Structure 1
C-alpha cells in the first residue's frame, strides 16, 4: 500500500539552511561593496555582482518553497554545484579584497 509521504519539517529546515547560506553571501557582497567604496572599481563591481547573485538565489529558493515542491528540488546535484561554485567565487573575491587592501 502506498501511503503519502509526510515531509514534516524537512522543507522548512531546507529553506532555512538555504537562507542562512544566502545571508552569508549577501553579507560578503555588502562587505565587498563597503571595502570598494572610493578605492577600487573592481571591488565595487565584485560587491554588486555577489549581492545581486545572492539575492537572486534568495528569490529562487523562496519560489521553490512556496510552490510546494519537494525539498529534493533544492538538493539536486546541479543546484548544489551552482551554490558551491557561488560560495567558492565569493571566497576568491573576499581573498582578493583582503590581499589588495
Structure 2
C-alpha cells in the first residue's frame, strides 16, 4: 500500500460518518490544492476510481465533474495558477486511464 493510499484510507475512515460518502474526498481534494500538492490530486482520483462506488464510466464522469466543480470554486481562495495545475494533473490521469481502458 502506498503512502497516498494509507493517507486516503485514514481520511475516509476518520471523517464524520454523516459526511463520509462524498464529503471526505471533496474536502481532501480542496486541501491538497490549497497546500500546493496539486499532483496528489491525481493520486486521489486514482484511489477513488479503485473503489466500487466509482467503478462504472458514468460514476467516474460524475466524480470528475465533482472534482472540477471544487477546483473552479477554489480558485477564489488559492488563485488560478494552483487550480490550473490541479486541473492539468487531473486531466492527465483521466487521459491515461481512458487510454488504458481503451486498450483492454
TM-score w.r.t. structure 2 length? 0.33
TM-score w.r.t. structure 1 length? 0.33
Rg larger in 1 or in 2?
Answer: 1
